[in-house]
Amino acid sequence: MRRLLEQGVAIFSWSGTLLLLTVLLVLLGYLGYRGAGAVDTGLIFGTIPPLDALLLRRQVFDGLFPAVAGTFALVLLAVGLAAPVGLAAGIYMAEYCRGRSRQVLGLFFDILAGLPSIVVGLAGFSLTIALHRLLPGSLGPCLLISALSLGFLILPYLIRSTQLALESLPPALRLSAPALGATKLQNIRYVLLPARLSAILGGIILATGRAAEDTAVIMLTGAVASAGLPRSLFEQFEALPFFIYYISSQYSDPDELQTGFGAAILLSAVCAVLLLGAFIIEQTLSRRLMR
Amino acid sequence: MDDGAKIITEKLCFAYRKRAVLQDIDLALPARSIIAVTGASGLGKTTFLSIFNRLWEENGGGTCRGRVTIRFADGPVDIYGKEMSVSLLRRRVGMVFQAPNPLPMTVFKNVAFPLLLQSAKSRDDIAEQVETMLKKVHLFDEVKDRLDSDARILSGGQQQRLCIARALMSDPEILLLDEPTSSLDNTACARIEELLVELRKDRTLIMVSHYQDQVRRVADRVFELADRQLCRIW
Amino acid sequence: MSTFGRLPVVLFRLAAFGSGLLTIAVFLLMLFLGWPLLSGGQFVHLIAEEWSPDRGLYGVFPMVIGSIAIALLALCFSLPISLGTSFVAATLAPRPLRRCLLAMVRFMAGIPTVVYGFVAVFLLVPFMREHLTGGSGLNILTASMILALLIAPTMIVFFVGGLGSVEKSFCLAVDGLGGTKVQKLLYLQLPQAWPAMVAGVVMGLGRAMGDTLISLMLAGNSVAVPHAAIDSGRTLTAHIALVIAADFSSMEFKSIFAAGMILYVFSSVVVVVLRLFTGMAMRPTG
């Protein structure tokens, strides 16, 4: 009887794994099959020479360039806004916060990390309504509001990864500098942060990936199907994930659909590269600690 | 009270949350000597050491009562007094740990680290001081070609001498040593012991040690920690 | 030194407490904007009522049902597969294959949600339409199948973490007694790791309830209360995304704040439950 159960579990496990891998391969294979033809410089820049587009000499109408540039600006802005706050809060949690406030703050950050991204988007949207009521006509959904909301979305990951990185330092290393007369701040600045820089950087890169792929937040806070290149913080913008969502229901001809598949491949590749980057940084770090 | 004493404790008590470690300790420790503390493990010898540079405060927990006075060259100081700066105290009371603890940086930067904390001095000054200090612990010849490589590639004995050099960098009058040789082999151990005897000429050393023979070789005065009391053995 | 030296610490504290306060502020903002619907004890109505703007009914009951149905169905699909995969990735497979599999799972978690949805629209939806469910092919079943794929990496990571954190000495003991890998898994790791397994399931459910794009793209978004898995349905998350463009002052528009609050409360409950279970896993006897 036991033997039977054991064999059953083994068969069940392996077939589950196989099923998952098969489904994943089918999905990715289909994406590659439909989209491979679309991946070239024309996908991004249309018929315009890439250099002209990058230098903003000519406008790109039939390529993904505005969406790519929009996503780039958005993510850069969001991470730029959230990273300093996340790092500071993470340092505070790991090095200064003790007792009850540590528990309460920890709970808040966990709740924040668990919030559905559409709720965060709704919060950003609510902000525009509130602003609209207080100062009529001042600010609608725009790049800045999107970046703020997106920054808020990735904030708990930044805080947690920084906190975890610092807390995982060996206690002996933690005492070394204070024993030499370092103040707490000097210890953090000269020893603790440099020792865990790679882990903290890895956390930031992972958060960047999250910001790049999120669709729900930006569709509520200012992403639109056609806006051209982002020109100001206070205007609506295009973004890759929103473009993919938009194409899935609104495509008008096979060419547009093909571009949609190309965009899906492009976005996946961007996320995969960010993931790989974080992974490599973590690996070099663990090798250095092993020595 | 002994007039020549460097460190004086009066009614010194220390307790972790429920467990008392030290009870009413009155001591007068002489200057320019090696004072050894022995005793079974787990009784709080390391805690006793860390009272003199207040390092126990970094771990949180624990309460310290009583009075500890150190007679520095420029006058006596109550180290738990209100106006005492902890980081200033730790520059004048150095510490060396059981396991060598080089910081994750180069050999040079490790030794120069205390100077970085005091943020002064020119580059040449620093290089000169690092060299002097490495020579003092007889390490310079061994590492002079490796000053810019990671300190963790050195052997255990070399690392420990590096840590002693680092602790000496801010010219402390007192050096606390927490079983400085217990993670080293015999040769490395002997070199450290020689070094300690040299250092004793112009500094006060308090050392925790498990090894009776080591204590007999180097110490001027030996205490045993038992039952929350320090008993002088000789 | 003293005033300047304190400044960074003040900034650190400001960042931490500011972030914490923002979390509460989000809830209060939604409460404030959704208040006209909630005042006078109408909250119960709001949750239990149907959605029928013609008759002046703005209840989000169909969306609550839609969210729960899609999430639970996704969990049913995903749980066995995730369990099996985590068994293989934690114990059964040889070491190199295990690392490979874990890297794959991490990669899966990194694929953008919108890409899963996009591919499903053109691959799974036509298949469902022609072979299984008929109709438009946009229904609860389709959405939950893709959602199952989306939450699998989350659960697998939790499961593998739990199974892997069983003490090495115990594992050595079983290995030394000549136990097979399956035996080690069944009689040692699984009993030891159950809090982590529960945590993984709760986490997966939380992610499934919180997802927007998959249900928005694949579930059909009908506002009727769904009666079967092949019915079209609308989730709370999709409801927010769909109504956002409506007139700001309408009651319809205000209902999205009710939906937002329900999601907020639900995800907070998930977090609290998770904390309890991980707390339990920490205790030696747990």
**Which residues on neighbouring strands pair with residue B63, listed in sequence order?**
B15
**Is C42 domain-assigned?**
no
Which residue, among C102, C207, C81, C105, has the nearest Cα to C164 in the 3D structure?
A: C102
The answer to whether residue C149 is domain-embedded is: yes
Chain A: partners with 3+ C-beta pairs within 8 Å? B, C
pLDDT score recorded for residue C285: 38
C21 shares its domain with C126 = no
Q: Average pLDDT in the A135-143 region?
A: 79
Q: Residue-wise over A134-151: b if at least 16 C-beta within 10 A, else e?
A: eeeeeeebbbbbbbbbbb
* C79: closest chain A residue by CA: A16
Same domain, C204 and C68: yes
Q: Other CB atoms closer than 10 Å to residue C277's CB: what's the count?
A: 21
Partner-chain contact A180 B170, CB within 8 Å: yes
Contacts B99 to A, Cβ<8 Å: 172
- Is residue C159 exposed (0-12), middle (13-18) or buried (19+ Cβ within 10 Å)? buried
What confidence score (pLDDT) does residue C50 get? 80
**What pLDDT shows up at residue C2?**
47
Q: Are residues C95 and C198 in the same domain?
A: yes
C-beta of residue B21 within 8 angstroms of C-beta of residue B43 = yes
pLDDT in the model for residue C47 = 72
Q: What is the structure's pLDDT at B30?
A: 92
Q: Is residue C43 in a domain? A: no
Asked whether residue C8 falls in the same domain as residue C150, the answer is no
Confidence of residue A289 (pLDDT cuts 50, 70, 90): low
With beta carbons under 8 A apart, name residues in chain A contacting C19: 85-86, 89, 108-109, 112, 155-156, 159
Same domain, C11 and C57: no
CA distance C226 to C140: 9
Task: Write out the residue range of the structural domain in which residue C253 sits.
Answer: 48-282
Q: Check C5 against A185: CB less than 8 A apart.
A: yes
Q: Give the per-residue pLDDT at C281.
A: 56
C-beta atoms of B58 and A177 within 8 A: no
C112 plus C244 within the same structural domain: yes
- The answer to whether the CB of B53 falls within 8 A of the CB of B93 is yes
State whether A180 and B55 contact (CB < 8 Å).
Answer: no
Nearest CA in chain B to A197: B104
Interface touch C113/A215, C-beta < 8 Å: yes
Domain count, chain C: 2
Is C41 a member of any domain?
no
Output the pLDDT for position C43: 67
CA torsion A94-A99-A100-A104 (nearest 10°) is: 20
Mean pLDDT (whole number) for A128-143: 81
Q: Within a domain: residue C145? A: yes
A187-201 mean pLDDT: 91
Closest residue to C206, CB basis, from A114, A120, A261:
A114
Q: What is the pLDDT of residue B3?
A: 59
Residue A254 has pLDDT above 80, yes or no: yes
Q: At what angle do helices A65-91 and A143-167 cross, to 10 degrees?
A: 40
Sign (positive/negative) of CA torsion C141, C143, C149, C154?
A: negative
Q: How far apart are CA A116 and CA A121, in angstroms?
A: 9
Would you call C18 and A15 a contact, using CB atoms and an 8 Å cutoff?
A: no
Whether residue C79 contacts residue C207, with contact meaning beta carbons closer than 8 Å, is answered with no
Amino acid identity for residue B72 in this structure: F
Indicate yes or no: CB of C19 within 8 angstroms of CB of A120.
no
Token pair in block for residue B74? 């420029």
> What is the structure's pLDDT at B97?
92
**Locus of tokens 């650190």:** C12
Cα→Cα distances B54→A82, A178, B89, C14, Å = 37, 10, 8, 29
Pick the residue from chain C with its C-alpha nearest to A31.
C119
- Does residue C57 sit in the same domain as residue C168? yes
Q: Which residues of chain B have pLDDT under 70?
A: 1-3, 120-121
The packing angle between helices A143-167 and A117-134, to 10°, is 130
Based on the domain organization, do C10 and C107 belong to the same domain?
no
- The ipTM value here is 0.89
Residues of A in contact with C31 (CB under 8 A): none
Q: Do the domain assignments include residue C122?
A: yes
Would you give the DSSP letter of residue B182? T
DSSP sequence for chain A: -HHHHHHHHHHHHHHHHHHHHHHHHHHHHHHHHHHGGG-SHHHHHTTS-HHHHHTTSS--SSSSHHHHHHHHHHHHHHHHHHHHHHHHHHHIIIII--HHHHHHHHHHHHHHHHS-HHHHHHHHHHHHHHHHHHSTTS--S-HHHHHHHHHHHHHHHHHHHHHHHHHTS-HHHHHHHHHTT--HHHHIIIIIHHHTHHHHHHHHHHHHHHHHH--HHHHHHTB-S---S---TTS-B--HHHHHHHHHHH--SHHHHHHHHHHHHHHHHHHHHHHHHHHHHHHHHHHHHH-
Q: From first to last of its 286 residues, what are the pLDDT tens digits of chain C?
A: 444 578 899 999 999 999 999 999 999 988 888 777 777 666 677 777 788 777 777 788 899 999 999 999 999 999 999 999 999 999 899 989 999 999 999 999 999 999 999 999 999 999 999 988 878 889 999 999 999 999 999 999 999 998 988 888 888 888 888 788 888 888 888 888 888 888 899 999 999 999 999 999 999 888 888 888 889 999 999 999 998 766 666 777 878 888 899 999 999 999 998 888 777 655 543 3
Q: Which amino acid is at A250?
A: Q
Query: Per residue in C210-221, is it b (16+ CB within 10 Å) or e — as a string?
Result: bbbbbbbbbbbb
Same domain, C62 and C23: no
Angle between helices C236-243 and C61-87 (to 10 degrees): 130
CA distance C191 to C220: 41
**A-to-B residue pairs, Cβ atoms closer than 8 angstroms:** 66
Set of chain B residues whose Cβ sits within 8 Å of the Cβ of A176: 97, 101, 103
Using a CB–CB cutoff of 8 Å, tell me whether A273 touches chain C. no
Say which of A10, A122, A244 has its CB closest to residue C118: A244
Domains and CATH numbers, chain A: 39-290 (1.10.3720.10)
For chain B, list the domains and their CATH numbers: 5-232 (3.40.50.300)
The Cα of A245 is separated from the nearest Cα of chain C by a number of Å equal to 6
In a domain, C215, yes or no: yes
Give the CA distances from residue A133 to residues A126, C22, C77, C237, C249, in Å, rounded to whole numbers and listed in that order: 11, 20, 46, 25, 12
- Answer left, alpha or beta for residue B96, where phi above 0 means left and psi between -120 and 50 means alpha: beta
What distances in angstroms separate CA C155 from CA A117, A122, B126, B141, C90, one per listed residue? 19, 27, 54, 56, 13
Contact A180 B117 (CB under 8 A): yes
Q: Which of A44-58, A155-169, A253-267, C91-105 has the lowest mean pLDDT?
A: A44-58
Q: In terms of domains, do C257 and C157 share one?
A: yes
Given a cut of 50, is residue A290 above it in pLDDT?
A: no
Residue C163: CB atoms within 10 A of its CB come to 22
C186 and C77 belong to one structural domain: yes
Please check whether residues C28 and C76 belong to one and the same domain.
Answer: no
Contact C8 A272 (CB under 8 A): no
For range A70-88, the mean pLDDT: 95
Q: Which pLDDT score is estimated for B158?
A: 93
Inform me whether the pLDDT recorded for A291 exceeds 50.
Answer: no
The pLDDT assigned to B54 comes to 92
Q: Are A173 and B95 inside 8 Å of each other by CB?
A: no
Segment A55-79 mean pLDDT:
87
The alpha-carbon gap from A83 to the nearest alpha carbon of chain B, in Å, equals 25
Mutation site for A-interface testing, chosen from C151, C211, C213 by largest number of A Cβ within 10 Å: C213
> Cα–Cα distance between A126 and A120 in angstroms, integer?
10
- Cβ separation C29–A85 shorter than 8 A: no
Average pLDDT, integer, range A105-129: 92
Q: Residue C197 sits in a domain of what CATH number?
A: 1.10.3720.10
